[in-house]
Every structure is written in structure tokens, then in C-alpha cells.
Amino acid sequence: MEKLNMLYEGKAKKVYETKDADKLIVYFKDDATAFNGLKKDVIFDKGILNNSISSIIFEELKRNNINTHFIEKLSEREQLVKKVNIVPLEVIVRNYAAGSIVKRLGLKEGQKFNEPILEISYKNDSLGDPLINDYHAFALGLVEKEELKYIYETALKINSILTKMFDEIGIILVDFKLEFGRCNGEILLADEISPDTCRLWDKKTLYKYDKDRFRQDLGNVVEGYREILKRLEELR
């Protein structure tokens, strides 16, 4: 399948039309941004690693009956996906305290929650993706009630599947972000799941193998991503 017009360029990916109006090609870039675009860099090979990692994860989710936009990995940096209309929400699942919730609620990093926390934020770069609740989402017409119910149920299912998968490779799934899209009356998991969108800590040492290495200037960013891919490949 060949790339035609570029439809959209985001912070980490480009999206192209194909000759099939229902399918798109996603191209994974090496660009990294944090703090809503304030910190920027190029992380050599990150796009290749994230494409592989996200493809493995989406295949695992498909095997577990999660409906996703993912069709197939096409090349080092490209995957073929179903065209969806993105629901303008970022859905965050948290198992342990890290990142923004630590500051917001004055928690200790690494504290395990009694049960997973689901959060939604309004996907809007110029506003910095503000945290909202269900009432905001319905009142603003961002999502239908039935859709959000399905999104929450699916996010929790994905959390169970991925927590188990990462546990098998010695990794704690601390938290992660999901995006969903509408396609022919269905809600599909969209976007990517990778060390850019998850916090992944070593079970024994709590070493961080995710984008926090970039956000916090911890060094060895790409090595962290490479380790996640290596362990996932060993699992297959």
C-alpha cells in the first residue's frame, strides 16, 4: 500500500491517505516533545522502536478481542490502520502514582492505588489537554454516554491485558494514555501504545524505560525503548 497525500502531522507521527478511502498509513517520526511542546528533541530511531512496540501491543490486544484501528505493520516506520474520527479525549489509566497526579494530589511517586484510576482530558493542544470529568464531556458534546461507558470498560480491559503482559517481562505498567476513534458506528482503540504513552518501570529496580527519561533528562532514552522492544520480542 502506497502513501498518498499527508492528512495530518502531529508531534510524533504523520498520517497519510491511501488509495483505499477507509485506510490510512501512520508514519512514526523520531521527534520527541514534552510539557505540551515546550521541550523538543530528536531521539534517533525512536520512531522505529515505537512502531514495533505499538504493533506488538496492538496485536496482543486484538488477540484478546479488543477492537482497534490497527491492521498491520508495513515497514520499519509505517503501519496501516483503519480511518477513524478521533474522539477528542485522552483517556488515562493509572495503577501507581507518577507524573501529573503526584503533583495534583500531593502523592508519593510509586504509591500503588487500591484500584485503577481512570481520567479523561480534553484533547486540545492550545489548552494543554485539561483534565475534565464525564459531565464536561457530555455537556460539551465530546462523547455520547454509551460511548464513554464502552471506552471506560475497554480501558480497564486493556489495563488488565497489558498489566499481565508487562508483568511477564518484568515490567510494572505504572500508567498509560489511550485514544479512541469512531468508525462505522463502532468505537475502536486508535493512536499508539508505546514508551511515549506509558510509564514502564523495571519490577526489581524500578528503573524507568519510558518517556520520563526524556522529560526528566535521565539519559539513555532510546536504550530504554530498545529494552522494552527486546523483552516484548522475547515473549513472542
Q: Which residues bind ligand C5P (CB under 6 A)?
A: 90, 92, 99-101, 129, 175-177, 197-199, 211
First to last CA, the chain: 26
Grid coordinates standing for 175?
500508567
Measured from each CB, the residue nearest to ligand C5P is 99
CB of 135 to ligand C5P, least distance (A): 20
If we measure between CA atoms, which residue out of 219, 194, 224 comes closest to residue 70? 194
Q: How far apart are the C-alpha atoms of 193 and 177, rounded to whole Å?
A: 8
Q: How far apart are the C-alpha atoms of 234 and 236, rounded to whole Å?
A: 6
The smaller minimum CB distance to ligand C5P, of residues 25 and 198, is found at 198
The smaller minimum CB distance to ligand C5P, of residues 18 and 33, is found at 33
CB of 21 to ligand C5P, least distance (A): 29
The smaller minimum CB distance to ligand C5P, of residues 101 and 155, is found at 101
CB of 2 to ligand C5P, least distance (A): 30
Say what angle helices 221-235 and 46-63 make with each other, to 10 degrees. Answer: 30
SS3 state at 118: strand
The smaller minimum CB distance to ligand C5P, of residues 103 and 236, is found at 103
CB of 101 to ligand C5P, least distance (A): 6
The smaller minimum CB distance to ligand C5P, of residues 78 and 90, is found at 90
CB 84 within 8 A of CB 92: no
CB of 81 to ligand C5P, least distance (A): 18
Grid coordinates standing for 7?
492528512
